[in-house]
Every structure is written in structure tokens, then in C-alpha cells.
Amino acid sequence: MRSVFLYIALSLFTLSVRAQDLNARVTVLSPKIQTTNKRMFQSLETAMKDFLNGRKWLVDPVLPHERIECSFVVNITNWDGSSSFNAELQVQSIRPVFNSNYTTTLLNINDKDFDFTYTEGQTIDYSDQNFQSNLASVMAFYAYIIAGVDYDTFSRFGGTPFYARAQNVLTIAQSSSYRGWKAFDSNTNRYWLIENLNNKVYEPLRGFLYDYHRNGMDLMADNVSRARKAIDNFLPVLADVDRQRLGAMWPLVFFAAKSDELVNIYSAASPQERVQAFNILMKADPSNGMKYQALQK
């Protein structure tokens, strides 16, 4: 009988490990809130961490070392002293580069429309069928975005099923009064992010994401020059991405994650490669032009 209980316990432990697809670090900051009692914010931090790390977001089984590394930083800008919060949310995710200790940033998003309700000690409930809370919906939305972008770097357009799930989260959340879910709320919000990721106009940028990582970054450890030459061939795609289109959110997110890395990759390239990269990047991403100026030195 004891062996049966042991088997059940081990099975439940195995299932719990498999359920953890994300390795999410959550930080709740409240520098603008005048209170000496920080238990509410600590409780929120724990609840968010348990929610993100305790659910099954992916379709594939995931080993502990394969969990997607990500972080959620919540900056509380206003609290009514009870259960209503106004905040900004910074979402980042990274991916390991093959045969190296280097990790590459995939997402770097600043969501300024993160308003929600939460009571101390509350368990965060979520359903794919109906709206439970804005707190749960926003986290589920970004969990699927994180998964989709990660999968896009390992197989061409591999993230499509996750973007469909994020779209479902958005569609359901649009029944609420919270900002960030509708087109007219802003030109750079959750609506436009998932619209872009599901839009064929931006498929070339998603294709670039795959080529850049699998046929470029993942080869860096074997031969830096050869990997950079491969990226040279893909780079012109960036110049063709339409950033003037209304709600061009995905290019903004892409370059927020990749601009520094692109500068680092080409800083050690030949003068000809640096000039070519500079010209393409300045056309594709003029908002980060000061960073790309380093390639002219």
C-alpha cells in the first residue's frame, strides 16, 4: 500500500513539473505608493508568480531546463488602499543560444494600460471561455505571446497556434471596460500587438525572427563570421517592414528587443558589413538611430 501512495505522489510531482512551462520572475514595485504595509504587494507578486509558473501554456512536454525564461515587472502607479490598482507592466523574455552561455532577448514590452483589481491572498482564476479578471487576462495574453515568439525562433511560424490563443484572450477581454484591448485605446497596445502577429503584412518579420536565430545566432558559437554573413543575407527584410502603418506595434517590440544586439553583432564586422548594416537599420528603425551611429566608427 505504501508503494502505491509513493507512486501516486511521484506521479503528481511529475505532472506538476510538466505543468511549469514558464520560468517567470515577477517583481512588484510601488515607489509612488505611500504605505508602510507592503504585504499586499508581496501577496500580489506571489499570486502572479504562481499563476504564470503553475499553468500549462505550451502543447509540448517541457523539461525543467527547457522552461521559457521571462520576467514581469509591475510598477504600481496608483492604489486605492483596497483592491483597485493602476500600473505599468514590463514584459521580457529571453532564449538561450545553442552551444553558448549567451541568452538573446526576444521580447521587451512596456504595457502602460495595466489596471486591475486584486485582494490580498486571492487566488488568480482564469478561463479560456470567459472573462474572469483583467489581471488574469493580461498575464495569459502575454504568456501566449511569450510562447509564440519563442516557438517562432525554433520553427518558421511555429508560434501561430499561440497567437491564436492570445487573440482569443483579447476577443473575450474586449467585453470588459479595461483599456489596452481595443484598437481605439492606443496605436501601441495589446490589440495592435496581436493584430500584427496574426497579420500577413508582418509575416516577413516573423520569418526573419526564425532565420536570425536558427540560421544566425545559433551558429555563432561555431563560426562568428559565417553566422554574421548569414544574418547579412536576412537583414534587408527589416528595411521592407512597413513601420508607418497604423498600429505598427510588432516592429516596435522587435527593435526594442534587438537593437542593442544588432549593434553588438556588427561592431566587430568589416567596414563594408558595418556600412551595409547601418544603412539598413537606419531605414528600418530610425527611432534607434543614435545606437546605430556606433557602426560608423
35-45 pLDDT, tens digit each? 878 899 999 99
> What integer is the mean pLDDT of 154-160?
98
pLDDT at 212: 98
Q: Within 13 Å of residue 180, how many CA atoms lie on the same side as its CB?
A: 23
pLDDT at 112: 96
pLDDT digits (tens, 9 = 90+) for 38-80: 899 999 999 999 999 999 999 999 999 899 999 999 999 999 9
What are the two backbone dihedrals, phi and then psi, of residue 71, each rounded to the nearest 5 degrees? -140, 145
pLDDT digits (tens, 9 = 90+) for 217-262: 999 999 999 999 999 999 999 999 988 888 999 999 999 999 999 9
Nearest in space to 120 (alpha carbons), one of 148, 85, 149: 85
Nearest in space to 138 (alpha carbons), one of 157, 112, 158, 120: 112
- Model pTM score: 0.93
Kindly provide the b/e burial profile for residues 120-147, where b requires at least 16 CB atoms within 10 angstroms of the residue's own CB: eeeebebeeeebebbbbbbbbbbbbbbb
Q: pLDDT grade, residue 7 (50/70/90)?
A: very low
What are the two backbone dihedrals, phi and then psi, of residue 50, each rounded to the nearest 5 degrees? -65, -40
Separation between Cα atoms, residue 188 and residue 200, nearest integer Å: 18
From the number of C-beta atoms within 10 Å of its C-beta (0-12, 13-18, 19+), residue 32 rates as exposed
pLDDT at 6: 37
pLDDT at 18 over 50: no
pLDDT digits (tens, 9 = 90+) for 79-138: 999 999 999 999 999 999 999 999 999 999 999 999 999 999 999 999 999 999 999 999
Q: pLDDT grade, residue 165 (50/70/90)?
A: very high
Where do runs of H (alpha helix) occur along 177-288? 190-197, 203-214, 224-234, 236-239, 249-267, 271-284
Q: Is the dihedral of CA 105, 281, 251, 286 positive or negative?
A: positive
